[in-house]
Chains A and B, each alone.
Chain A
């Protein structure tokens, strides 16, 4: 008894190693970690079980999220131009859809960054655009001005061309992210980047078919 009182840590260790602490129903079982096939299963502690220290997000993850906020913000700014410039319902609906999904995703990305203690960039596109570099596919200030100055069918065409280029840029960003060593291991960013990839491909296809109609 004395030795137990003196050295409780050792007792706990023995209990873990033996997989049982006297068989009482309340005892917490040890955490085990299997090995690769053919390798033994071993007992590990709760801290080791949640040690994600080497799976943490990387600078590539952070840059991706920060860059994608600016990227999305410009898409939102572009859709804001639609109502007063287009003559078609199809364009308005397209704009509403892009606006809704990108606004939603901006919120998600801001949350992702802030909960990881990373800097959250402004989601106002004009702030983002005054930055030194544009993310892939983003329209230059000149291109934005041209879009903003157009009306009717000309606007629709500029918009579709611009947004296709814009979305293709997002695909490049996703591709670069997955190619960066250690990136996208965090399950949220992994799922998010995969979604961006799938959604934007689909929207590109749709915009291409709309554009075809304008070219006919």
Chain B
């Protein structure tokens, strides 16, 4: 460790060595022992319901091996087209599963864009229970992560087979101007027929990217490109260097791409900030050097790249999951991000993604131990490895809270580890819906950072009983009342939450009343709720759960809201009395908050504010 800026969470490794197999509950978990299959796998769900499921469309899977490469491919007899390959085993014709894997999601209006290693598909979700395939776009290169801003769609490309012209034929030459690795920009004004308008080439390609909209800059949007794979040769793209010691090395940075909205075709890299630098020595490799953290700890990758960055522009913050570290950045000037803090963790193998809570006071970092293609949720795997870590942001520094891992043991033919998710906007609580590959979808509450708990789940059996075929959920994001999930092999799944002792109908309704017109999971903003009865009841349900409100106040809130709900217009004679009742009740609740425990006090105040805002509406 070369920098005093980095704090390592030693101590936590020795304390927590629980595995999936530990509890009696494990035997009863309905996710254990599900029947394998591509289309007929067993399913288990609790407190959430699968409302629609669409298989991947033609052009995005190999009909010979729809789940993945189980059967050896047929050998073609004629390889004469390809003169670049010699030797006894000239190219066969496999279509590898990952070549057609579904990846990340983005939303705009009633459309969802589903990224795929072979391009992207657009679905009409005006009726979420009846999604319709709207457009299919082939443009290979993986991972195919997508973001959307107005009529622009951005897409990540990292593989050597990527081509500037979206061709499927790859690039045989080792250095070629036809190869594309970086961020593609499409004009989707005609959603059915997008036009590629720019290709921003980067040295390491783009494994993921993040849209950054600066509230103070109306002329540009920015893209943070995160490349994780090999640096290409300077012969192919001038200036690229994979030498660690080269001061101009392409390692140890991210790509900041500026996209001028008046002419997005002129998008270009405007900075490659050295966000891992040691502030004292100036060394660009100032963070985790790679390796383990001592006996019994995880081996953690070197911090020379970010895997994923999530921004919260209103707060001027970004959280970077950067291989060997989790970092917090000040992005008030998005072109010149400045590191505020960095943490390491002896249980983390690979810092993979970051998600803020709604008010930007916490970050969840995920650990993609095994890279997402290995089974890491077996009964023998530690519950603190390949998990989420919750951090509180205190004075713009990261403070560790606790771990969460999807608790049901999976088989060794199911790739499983923490992956992408988003916040479910339930007022008064921090809740996330998260993808765990073949470990399914897990919805958990992390309001108490030190003790996250699962509150709903969905899972299928493995794709195959004997072989590991890479599949399962890549991303699960909440959008306007539903959870949309990309399944690597199986397609697109849509879920709704159902009420339970862990989450009430009012809490679900309050989350569902939030309406977004555009959603990119790595670009967060603070959600505020209209002062509806559902929101007030959501706070009430939370206070009742913790016995954090006096029965008299609880009864008063219930009856006053009933009176308020009966008022249909401002001319109603009862309106002034209801307004007064709401206002008085709000004051009572604020008084109760003054002596309540912190979590209850917060909810009492939020409830009071909701009633007050509701009273204003009575006029």
Question: Please, which residue of chain B has its CB at the minimum distance from the CB of A53?
Answer: B93
A49 touching B118 in the complex, CB below 8 Å, given contacts A202-B290, A202-B291: yes
Complex Cα gap A50–B99 (Å): 9
A-B contact pairs, 28 of them (CB 8 A): A31-B57, A31-B58, A32-B135, A32-B138, A34-B139, A34-B186, A37-B199, A50-B100, A52-B99, A54-B82, A56-B91, A56-B93, A58-B85, A63-B87, A114-B72, A115-B73, A116-B72, A116-B73, A182-B85, A182-B170, A185-B159, A185-B160, A185-B161, A186-B99, A190-B160, A191-B229, A202-B301, A202-B302
Verify B84–A48 contact, CB threshold 8 A: no
Answer whether residue B230 sits at the interface, using C-beta atoms and an 8 A cutoff.
yes
Interface segment out of the listed B33-41, B59-67, B581-589: B59-67
Q: Within B160-206, which residues are at the interface with A (CB < 8 Å)? A: 160-161, 164-174, 186, 192-199
> Which of B171, B192, B199, B295 sits near A32, CB closer than 8 Å?
B192
Query: In the bound complex, do residue B94 and residue A115 qualify as a contact, i.e. CB atoms below 8 Å apart?
Result: yes
For the A-B complex with A29-B133, A32-B136 known, give 14 more contacts whose Cβ atoms are closer than 8 Å. Answer: A29-B134, A29-B135, A34-B137, A34-B139, A49-B58, A52-B94, A59-B87, A60-B87, A89-B295, A182-B85, A182-B170, A185-B171, A201-B290, A202-B302
- Cα of A104 to Cα of B230 in the assembled complex, Å: 23
**A146 is an interface residue with CB less than 8 A from chain B:** no
As a 0/1 sequence over residues 57 to 97 of chain B, the CB contacts with chain A under 8 angstroms (1 = contact) are 11111100000011111011000011011111111111110
B165 contacts across to A, CB distance below 8 A? 35-36, 39
Partner of A48 from B69, B93, B142, B168 at Cβ < 8 Å: B168
Once A116-B69, A205-B289 are accepted as A-B contacts, the answer to whether A54 and B91 lie under 8 Å apart by CB is yes
Q: How far is the CA of A59 from the CA of B86 in the complex (A)?
A: 7
The reply to whether B87 and A181 contact each other, CB–CB distance below 8 Å, is: no
- 67-105 of chain A: CB within 8 A of chain B: 89-90, 93, 97, 104
**A190–B205 CA distance with the chains assembled, in angstroms:** 13
A172 CB-CB contact with B under 8 Å: no
B117 engages A187 (CB within 8 Å)? yes
Judge whether B401 is part of the interface by a CB distance below 8 angstroms. no
Min Cβ gap B76→A in Å is 7
Q: List chain A residues, Cβ under 8 A from B142.
A: 187
- Chain A positions 1-46 with a Cβ under 8 Å from a chain B Cβ: 19, 25, 28-37, 39-41, 44, 46
The complex places the Cα of A186 from the Cα of B199 at a distance, in Å, of: 22
Least CB separation from A26: chain B residue: B132
Whether B169 lies near A25 (C-beta < 8 A) is no
Given contacts A59-B88, A111-B467, A117-B75, contact A35 B290 (CB under 8 A): no
Q: A25 to B197, alpha carbons, bound, how many Å?
A: 30
**Residue on B with the closest CB to A114?**
B72
Contact B291 A190 (CB under 8 A): no
Contact with A along B284-301 (1 / 0, CB 8 A): 000001111001000101
A16 CB, min distance to chain B CBs, angstroms? 12
Asked if A191 contacts B371 (CB within 8 A), the reply is: yes
A-B contact count (CB 8 A): 211
Are A198 and B302 also in contact (CB < 8 A) when A29-B136, A52-B94 are?
yes
**Is A213 an interface residue, CB under 8 A from the partner?**
no
B residues near A111, Cβ cutoff 8 Å: 467-468
B168 touches A205 (CB 8 A): no
Q: List chain B positions with a Cβ less than 8 A from chain A.
A: 57-62, 69-73, 75-76, 81-82, 84-96, 98-100, 117-119, 132-139, 142, 159-161, 164-174, 186, 192-199, 229-230, 265, 289-292, 295, 299, 301-302, 371, 373-374, 467-468
Q: Verify if A57 is at the interface (C-beta below 8 Å from B).
A: yes
Alpha-carbon distance between A31 and B122 when the two chains are bound, in angstroms? 11
- Bound complex: CA of A111 vs CA of B60, how far in Å? 23
Beta-carbon contact of B62 and A50 below 8 Å: yes
Chain B residue with the shortest CB-CB distance to A34 = B196
Which A residues are CB-close (under 8 A) to B166? 33-36
- A33 with B139: in contact, given A49-B168, A181-B174 (CB under 8 Å)? yes
Is A116 within 8 A of B92, CB to CB? yes
Q: Does A178 contact B (CB under 8 A)?
A: yes
Which residues in B have their C-beta under 8 angstroms from that of A142? none
Chain B residue with the shortest CB-CB distance to A202? B290
Q: Which residue of B lies closest to A66 (CB)?
A: B89
Q: Is the CB of B196 within 8 A of A32?
A: no
**Residue pair A52, B290 in contact (C-beta under 8 Å):** no
Residues of chain B within 8 A of A191, CB atoms compared: 98, 229, 371, 373
Contact A35 to B196, CB < 8 A, known contacts A117-B92, A181-B85: yes
Cβ of B168 and Cβ of A190 under 8 Å apart?
no
Q: Is the CB of B230 within 8 A of A37?
A: no
Give the CA-CA distance A181 to B233 in the complex, in Å: 13
B161/A55 in contact, CB under 8 A: yes
* Least CB separation from B232: chain A residue: A178
Residues on the A chain within 8 Å of B173, using CB: 181
Q: Within 8 Å CB of B132, what residues of A? A: 25
The 10 closest A-B pairs by CB, nearest first: A49-B59, A59-B87, A117-B72, A56-B91, A55-B170, A46-B58, A34-B196, A202-B290, A185-B161, A54-B169
Whether B174 pairs with A179 at a CB distance below 8 angstroms is: yes
A197 on the interface (CB 8 Å rule)?
yes
Taking the complex as formed, is A154 at the interface, i.e. its CB lies under 8 A from any CB of chain B? no
Among A33, A36, A56, A194, the residue within 8 A (CB) of B229 is A194
In the complex with contacts A30-B136, A32-B194, A33-B139, A52-B89 CB distance below 8 A: no
A143 interface residue (CB < 8 Å to B): no
Cβ B291 vs Cβ A28 within 8 A: no
Chain A 169-191, CB-CB to B under 8 Å as 1, else 0, gives 00000000011111011111011
Give the residue of B90, B160, B186 whose beta carbon is less than 8 angstroms from that of A59: B90
Q: Which residue among B87, B94, B301 has the maximum number of chain A CB atoms within 10 Å of its CB?
A: B94
Assuming the contacts A49-B118, A58-B91, asked whether A188 and B197 have C-beta atoms less than 8 A apart, the reply is: no
Could you say which residues of chain B place their CB within 8 Å of the CB of A205?
A: 289-291
How far is B133's CA from A55's CA once the two chains are assembled, in angstroms?
A: 28
A32 contacts which chain B residues (CB < 8 A)? 135-138, 192-194
Q: Are A52 and B164 in contact (CB under 8 A)?
A: no
Q: Which residue of A lies closest to B69 (CB)?
A: A115
Cβ-defined partner of A51 (8 Å) among B82, B117, B134, B168:
B168
Which residues of chain B have C-beta atoms less than 8 A from A35's C-beta? 165-166, 196
Measured CA separation A49–B118 after assembly (Å): 8
A34 touches B195 (CB 8 A): yes
| Shortest Cβ distance from A194 into B: residue | B229
Flag A124-157 by CB within 8 Å of B: 1 or 0 each. Answer: 0000000000000000000000000000000000
CB A183 to nearest CB in B, in angstroms, measures: 8
Q: Which residues of B contact A49 (CB under 8 A)?
A: 58-60, 118-119, 136, 138, 168
